[in-house]
Amino acid sequence: MVLEQRLRESGALTRPLSRAGRQRLAEVLYLRDALDTERERPGRLLWREIERVLAEDGALRESGLDPYSVLRAAEPHLGASGGLTSDGVPISPRLRQTGAFVGLLVRDDHTNSLRRDDGGMSDESILNGIVVGTSSSSFSSRSSQELDQVDGGASGEIHIPISPPWQLDASSVLLMGLRKEDNHLLFDSRVALAWLAADRWTATAFTTYSWNDEDRTDAGTGGDTWSWNAGLVPTHQFDRRLGASLGLTYRFSGWIATPGFFPAAMAPPPVPQAQP
């Protein structure tokens, strides 16, 4: 979407891409990582395929892609233009996904941790060269923890790139204990809306909700918990540098003679005074 928008701004595209053309362009860009590892100059092959897809869709102007259009499309989303990628296609500052998924989930958490701490301390006091007191101590501790939990339920997520600067992501998961001793019920959800502003600004608004029912067969227990969070996280990339330097130099050519470069400087002979 960003590539199409920039090519339309530069005049390389005479109209928006068709749905099929946009899908073929996404398939070409999907291979960029593989080309980067297999080809010495991946940008040449990638942009050849991009131009072919645009031409077959009928949206590319007759003169094709010009240098300005390629450079405009290659500009990073954030920061200075010096950080160009190897193939000339910018990478989004945040993950841009599209699509939806709903399915069943089974999770097995098994943890077996063992911790042991050993330590000691010694102290000696000396007064006027004489040991007047000593002390020492030591300690040791050992702890172990085991967890074996099997959960099952459903999970779902949806990702919508609303427009080049906007991205909506949402996910939820509902799990319950599958063993007899695990009678809990867990629910987690998250919704985030990201905004990619011009040049150096991004912002993400998010909200999360979590609910833990310790015993789903009981109306309420002391272990039941829930939490809700919301926030706004702005990100700004800013780089300014100011420097000053002061130097002092002295020419030593009058003291040193280097054959082939410059001879030693000699003071001129004194001029004889005129006789009366």
**pLDDT on residue 233:** 84
**Res. 46: pLDDT tops 90:** no
pLDDT, residue 129, reads 85
Which of the two residues, 181 and 187, has the higher pLDDT score? 187
> Which of 189, 187, 191 is CA-nearest to residue 160?
191
The C-alpha atoms of residue 69 and residue 182 are separated, in whole angstroms, by: 60
Average pLDDT over residues 106-133: 90
Q: Which of 176, 180, 204, 210 is nearest to 192 (CA)?
A: 204
pLDDT of 262 higher than 70: no
Local structure of 48: helix, strand or coil: helix
Average pLDDT over residues 68-91: 73
The pTM score is: 0.57
Residue 254 reports pLDDT greater than 80? no
3-state secondary structure 183-247: CCEEEEEEEEEEEECCCCEEEEEEEEEEEEECCCCCCCCCCCEEEEEEEEEEEECCCCCCCCCCC
Mean pLDDT of 1-27: 90
Q: Which residues contact 254 (CB under 8 A, 6 or more apart)?
A: 264, 265
- At 79 the pLDDT is 58
The average pLDDT across 132-137 equals 92
Supply the DSSP symbol for 82: T
Domain boundaries along the sequence of the chain: 2-74, 99-107+149-236, 111-146
Tell me the pLDDT band of 42, cut-offs 50, 70 and 90: confident
Tokens encoding 67 = 């240098």
State the chain's mean pLDDT as an integer.
82
Residue 123: pLDDT band by 50, 70, 90 thresholds?
Answer: very high
- 214-225 pLDDT, tens digit per residue, is 877 777 677 788
What confidence score (pLDDT) does residue 168 get?
95
In Å, what is the CA distance from 113 to each residue of 143, 145, 243?
A: 8, 5, 53
Percent with pLDDT over 90 in the chain: 34
Residue 6 has pLDDT above 70, yes or no: yes
- State the pLDDT confidence band at 101, using cuts at 50, 70 and 90: very high
pLDDT category at 12 given cuts 50, 70, 90 is very high
Q: What angle (nearest 5°) sits at the alpha carbon of residue 126, between those of residues 121 and 129?
A: 145
Residue 267: predicted pLDDT: 56
The amino acid sitting at 84 is L
